[in-house]
Chains A and B, each alone.
Chain A
């Protein structure tokens, strides 16, 4: 039993260091979440891919990059917060 506990501790420790580490208990949501984050990070960091996106979307690369990182962070506008302020304009 103690071994099991130790194993779990080592796993948790490794997981906190290496994001995206999984085992048999990894949930589908967690796995998908990691893949999505990795994908956004890749799109942002590989320059040709960012340019490809930005031309397709017809937005400046800086904005495309910003929006992709927002998606990666799962940013969403606080409905009654800042969004409403901007909308008022």
Chain B
């Protein structure tokens, strides 16, 4: 290999973007007064949802990847307009103001440098507090720095300008929360919860006032507040309210407004709750002349807080005085980051983990007789803490009803690749809302009906009988020796008087002309005329003696037949529904194996092209124009005999696609020029070992093609890219489109062996189908123990296990999913065995309340070759922060038919995070020790012990006698097992300190690691390290106190998410071996090596040009350099970002042209290369 050519270049693609939100806001971002949009900021992108108030559904309008870390967002309105704009703070160090244009695209308003890059403790990007009157906003850092910026409207073009920031920096001050007060048109006032390094036992509420006249900031007022104060929410002013804020602390809510009187309220507690609650988020809902707050506690309970006030005749500026505040239990929801109330009466719960929910308000909690606590009964703080009558009962959702669920994978705690079924098995979610998710690259189908057939069906057709028919009338099923005709109506019945030939196998059926039907079988065409009249006319056309019809294709006005004597026969149907044969039969170069006329384009009489496939491995495109009928326009050679052809129309007459199925199981899609009939832009996919047959369908009004080989596929366009995706459970041999009264669109009918299934395909935007199996607690580790069975270990702290003495039922699960588990100081741990085929939990073993699970693995011991065992690592009475426990143990279970069977438990010296099978023994990373265990009768027996220089081993992987161990802090190390001396010898370690969470060996000397900060690296052990040098290595190691060889970093890449699992394999049939990773926040991505040096050169230079162009075109709103973003901790190396490359499609033509000139290739060629790479790498 050339010395300046990198050893490895990977192509990265995200299969699933993270779904955990950082913050969300609602507002009129499109500028329509009646419409409100929801913008969710994810870790590095923004998503805009619109709410359909009729159906209560959220529609994703736009996803904008920013390629930077979004820290916070806030909304503001340009004074005088009704459109809301967005403030973004990010790791770019810039302050970014943006808004949505008419096409719902983000356009940059302001992007000013403000501070250093990165998320540092002094960067004023942590909190944003926007003045409710949109005059200014305050940016606040965790420590010291505060900046207030005035927003000015540029009246000429209705844009916004920001003034240079006014600083309000105070050293040694840490900020916990900020909130802008609604003070009408007085000077903007912002309140913060602060603590000073010098007095760490006290917290203060400080008010900062921006004096608009003098243009400076003053700290107006400060007071000491309860020590556990954590949350602020401002009270509206003007017609609605009296201004001021609610200060929430542990167990208490207080009304505060400068030096005005304080009102106090307790935060009510659940019946069994021991500790006092915090308020963690809240939303104020303003209505005409009134308002209320919904505040959520850390257990998820929602409280409604209302403020009563009275007019006070006073000289001072404020004439409304708060007289009391009241609190009442409202409902319980999962713990959220943000709550948002839409004007149309919906509540969006931006949950911390798992799916996000949209609720509709049924009522506002005014009518029930729940207890109301009023501040009138609490004269001071002391009286709040002393009140013991603050308990309430949780209840099922009463005031809210769930209307829509936004699916999220966040958080993925572990995952594995089930190569056999090409699916990812993930554990996702926290606490009571966790689940096991099965992800497969396929399209979900919605089965409507299914019935048995008398025999094995070859083909199926649906047809109308008159061209005016809206729905299909007949379903024609062709068997090897006959045909079955079914009528489609309310029920599906067999028809015998249809006039169609039933004793032969049907090749094609089509409604032709006005009221005619044509059926092609091997000995002729049955033509039924006048089907609208009671007695119809039946005529038969027969091929010449000795010849048979092999293939046929029809449109409403054309019939093409391929005969066994290589002749092509072409008919047209005239206006009297007569068949008129073309004067000449054309002899083809080989036996005709496939034909397609396609569909008639809108406004034309006939389909202009006929595609003919012959067994000399070619296809020809013939013209059907009356002036040049059956003239060959173009020819394409193939790698195998074409088994089926299909021409589909593109939208707006942009051209045609020719879909070609080959005998060898290959599917080809190529573009047919609508004028010249030339073929170009070929895409090839391998579908399976069987011959491919094709069938046209109409999905969402588009002409698409179903392909059938081993599995069924749908070929479609997603975004800018051609895709072919398998159908879920799609083992159909053939199928076709289906339109009936019950199923007016997207319907498909498929036959498989002796079954007939009618289904719809309702979603094309997500090609990863997710199946869900609910679990009990936060999942830790997942292990595949046999083909269909996985064992999930689940464990969580501060939870009382409700299933210690009872069995989980559907009702109890639902209850706990809503209100969460009861808190206690103990752990809840369970080992659940799940059958992923039937999607059932087979067995659940609840562990004692002291035990916390940390690792697990499956082992087959060489000493017990017939059995398989499951080992779980536990600790007793584990405390976190700092890590303390009262002993650790390895629990051994035998895997039997019925499930797991407990054998014994073995004490260990330290906590075991990582376990694996190694050479017929169990290898455990006990703290910094590597210990080999064998199975004994009463416990596991220590067989070998090696001390390493590590702190805590988190991951072990092996190939042969070589292992790679990874540490919590110190990256990875290669070791070799010396069987004679029965110990491990360290070979090679790393020079970069990585906090590894998971690792996977790619080959004997290469390992891929994922770390806690979101970097994936590929490390390679030098070739000169081999087992002949063991003595030398050992001697040298002893001398210098570390490994003499160092790992070489081949690739490093920031994936913006805590990497939770790495697997090697492929998600598609016949796909390339790649690295598939999962990230905590719901990221799933794939890294696949680019194989040729020319491709490497091409993609690296394309990525480079795109980086520059996207930054120039302000698409990267925050102005963060992509290269720096991907090298957030360690400089990016050896990875091409496919997510960035995909943006090429979205560029304006001029930029595309510019880049393609720079790369010396045509735009089409670049697009084709990107698409091929995508289908090669992933899907």
The smallest beta-carbon distance between A77 and chain B, in angstroms, is 6
**CB proximity of A44 to chain B, nearest CB, Å:** 7
The answer to the question of B35 belonging to the interface, with a C-beta cut-off of 8 Å to chain A, is no
By the criterion CB–CB under 8 Å, are A19 and B430 in contact? no
Interface string of B398-435 (1 = CB under 8 A from A): 00000000000011010000000000000000110000
Of B174, B201, B298, which one neighbours A69 at CB under 8 angstroms? B174
Which of B200, B201, B1081 is in CB contact (< 8 Å) with A51? Answer: B1081
The one of B201, B227, B385 in contact with A88, judged by C-beta atoms closer than 8 angstroms, is B385
For A48, list chain B residues within 8 Å (CB): 18, 20, 43, 1014, 1056-1058, 1079-1081
Q: Could you say which of A38, A46, A75, A83 contacts B69, with CB atoms under 8 Å apart?
A: A46
B804-836 interface mask toward A, CB cutoff 8 Å, 1 = contact, 0 = none?
000000000000000000000000000000000
- Determine which of A44, A45, A60, A85 lies in contact with B335 in the assembled complex, contact meaning CB atoms within 8 Å: A60
Chain B residues whose CB sits within 8 angstroms of the CB of A42 once the complex forms: 119, 121
Q: Are A57 and B174 in contact (CB under 8 A)?
A: no
Residues A38 and B121 in contact, CB atoms below 8 Å apart: yes
Give the secondary structure class of B's interface. Answer: loop
- B143 contacts A19, CB within 8 Å? yes
Contact residues of B between 512 and 567, Cβ < 8 Å to A: none
CB distance from B431 to the nearest CB of A (A): 7
User: Which A-chain residue is minimally distant from B43 (CB atoms)?
Assistant: A47
Interface residues of B in 262-302 (CB under 8 A from A): 276, 278, 280-281, 298
Contact A82 B228 (CB under 8 A): yes
Which residues of the other chain, A, contact B121 by a CB distance below 8 angstroms?
19, 37-38, 41-42, 45, 72
Nearest CB in chain A: distance from B766 CB, A: 23
Q: B-facing mask of A15-57, CB < 8 A → 1, else 0? A: 0100100000000000000000110011011111101101111
Check A62–B20 contact: CB distance below 8 A.
no
Interface flags for B470-513 (1: CB within 8 Å of A; 0: not) read 00000000000000000000000000000000000000000000
Q: Tell me if A5 is interfacial: C-beta within 8 Å of chain B.
A: no
A58's partner among B20, B278, B796 (CB-CB below 8 A) is B796
Closest to A57 in B: B880
The size of the chain A interface, using a CB distance under 8 A, is 41
Query: Given A58-B778, A60-B298, A88-B386, A45 and B1081 touching (CB < 8 A)?
Result: no
- Distance (whole angstroms) from the CB of A61 to the closest CB of chain B: 5
Give the number of residue pairs across the A-B interface with Cβ within 8 Å: 144
Task: Say if the beta carbon of A13 comes within 8 Å of chain B.
Answer: no
Are A55 and B195 in contact (CB-based, < 8 A)?
no
Measured CB to CB, the nearest residue on chain B to A75 is B200
Q: Write the chain B residue with the least CB distance to A62.
A: B280
Contact A47 B22 (CB under 8 A): yes
Are A82 and B227 in touch, CB under 8 angstroms? Answer: yes
A residues within 8 A CB of B203?
A: 75
Give, as a whole number of angstroms, the nearest-CB distance from B816 to chain A. Answer: 14
Residues of A within 8 A of B276 (CB): 86, 89
**Residue contact A41 to B120, C-beta cutoff 8 Å:** yes
**B1012 CB-CB contact with A under 8 Å:** yes
User: Does any Cβ of A come within 8 Å of B144's Cβ?
Assistant: yes
In the complex, which residues of chain A have a beta carbon less than 8 angstroms from the beta carbon of B880?
A: 56-57
| Chain B 351-378 interface 0/1 with A at a Cβ cutoff of 8 Å (1 = within) | 0110000000000000000000000000
Closest CB of chain B to A69's CB: distance in Å? 6
Q: Is the CB of B197 within 8 A of A73?
A: yes
> Known contacts A59-B298, A82-B226; is A73 also within 8 Å of B174 by CB?
yes
Residue contact B228 to A49, C-beta cutoff 8 Å: no
Give chain B nearest CB distance to A41 CB in angstroms: 3
Which residues of B from 966 to 996 have beta carbons under 8 Å from A?
none
Chain A residues with CB under 8 Å of B1004's CB are: none
A66 — which chain B residues lie within 8 A by C-beta? 176, 230, 278
Query: How distant is B786 from chain A, measured CB to nearest CB, in Å?
Result: 29
| Complex CA–CA separation, A66 to B71 (angstroms) | 16
Interface set, chain B 845-885, CB cutoff 8 A to A: 880-881
Q: Which residues of A contact B250 (CB under 8 A)?
A: 86
The answer to whether A72 and B298 touch (CB under 8 A), given A45-B71, A46-B69, A82-B228, is no
Interface residues of A in 61-84 (CB under 8 A from B): 61-63, 66, 69-70, 72-78, 81-83
- Is B604 close to A, CB under 8 A? no
CA of A46 to CA of B625, assembled, Å: 65
* Contact (Cβ within 8 A) B200 A73: yes
Q: Is the CB of A41 within 8 A of B143?
A: yes
B832 to chain A, nearest CB (A): 18
Nearest CB of B to A48, in Å: 5
A63 in complex: contacting residue of B201, B280, B881, CB < 8 Å: B280
Most buried by B among A54, A74, A82: A82
Q: Is the CB of A60 within 8 A of B280?
A: yes
Interface residues of B in 201-233 (CB under 8 A from A): 201-203, 226-228, 230-231
Q: How far is the CA of A16 from the CA of B169 in the complex (A)?
A: 11
Smallest Cβ-Cβ distance to B126: which chain A residue: A45
A52 and B431 contact, CB distance less than 8 A: no
Residues from chain A with a CB closer than 8 A to the CB of B1013 are 46, 49
- Of A19, A51, A55, the residue contacting B144 (CB under 8 A) is A19
Nearest B-chain residue to A79, judged by Cβ: B201
Known A19-B122, A47-B22, A60-B298: A41·B142 in contact at CB below 8 Å? yes
CB contact under 8 A between A89 and B385, given known A52-B1012, A69-B174: yes
B174 touches A61 (CB 8 A): no
Residue contact A85 to B174, C-beta cutoff 8 Å: no
B230 touches A62 (CB 8 A): yes
B197 touches A74 (CB 8 A): yes
Q: Is the CB of B353 within 8 A of A55?
A: yes
Cα distance A25–B226 in the bound complex, in angstroms? 38
Contacts known (A48-B1057, A49-B1058, A69-B174); A57 close to B881, Cβ less than 8 A: yes
Q: State in angstroms the CA–CA spacing of A81 and B203 once bound together.
A: 12
In the bound complex, residues from chain A placing their C-beta under 8 Å from that of B22 are 47
- A70 to B881: give the CA distance in the assembly, Å: 14
**Which A residues touch B143, using CB under 8 A?**
19, 37, 41, 72
B328 within 8 A of A: no
Q: Indicate the member of A38, A78, A86 with the most B CB atoms within 10 Å.
A: A86
Query: CB within 8 A of B200: which of A52, A58, A76?
Result: A76
Assess A51 versus B119: contact at CB under 8 Å? Given A69-B176, A75-B201, A76-B201. Answer: no
Extra contacts besides A49-B1058, A52-B1012 (6): CB < 8 Å: A47-B43, A55-B430, A58-B431, A60-B298, A62-B337, A69-B174
What are 22 pairs between A and B in contact, CB < 8 Å?
A16-B171, A19-B121, A37-B121, A45-B71, A47-B43, A48-B18, A48-B1079, A48-B1080, A51-B353, A52-B1012, A55-B430, A55-B1080, A60-B298, A60-B352, A62-B337, A72-B143, A72-B174, A73-B197, A77-B227, A86-B228, A86-B385, A88-B385
- Top-7 shortest CB links A-B: A41-B121, A62-B280, A78-B201, A73-B174, A45-B119, A82-B227, A73-B195
List B residues at the A interface (Cβ < 8 Å): 18, 20, 22, 43, 69, 71, 119-122, 126, 142-144, 171, 174, 176, 195, 197, 200-203, 226-228, 230-231, 250-251, 276, 278, 280-281, 298, 335, 337, 352-353, 382, 385-386, 388, 410-411, 413, 430-431, 778, 796-799, 880-881, 1012-1014, 1056-1058, 1079-1081
Residue positions of A touching B, CB distance < 8 A: 16, 19, 37-38, 41-42, 44-49, 51-52, 54-63, 66, 69-70, 72-78, 81-83, 85-86, 88-89
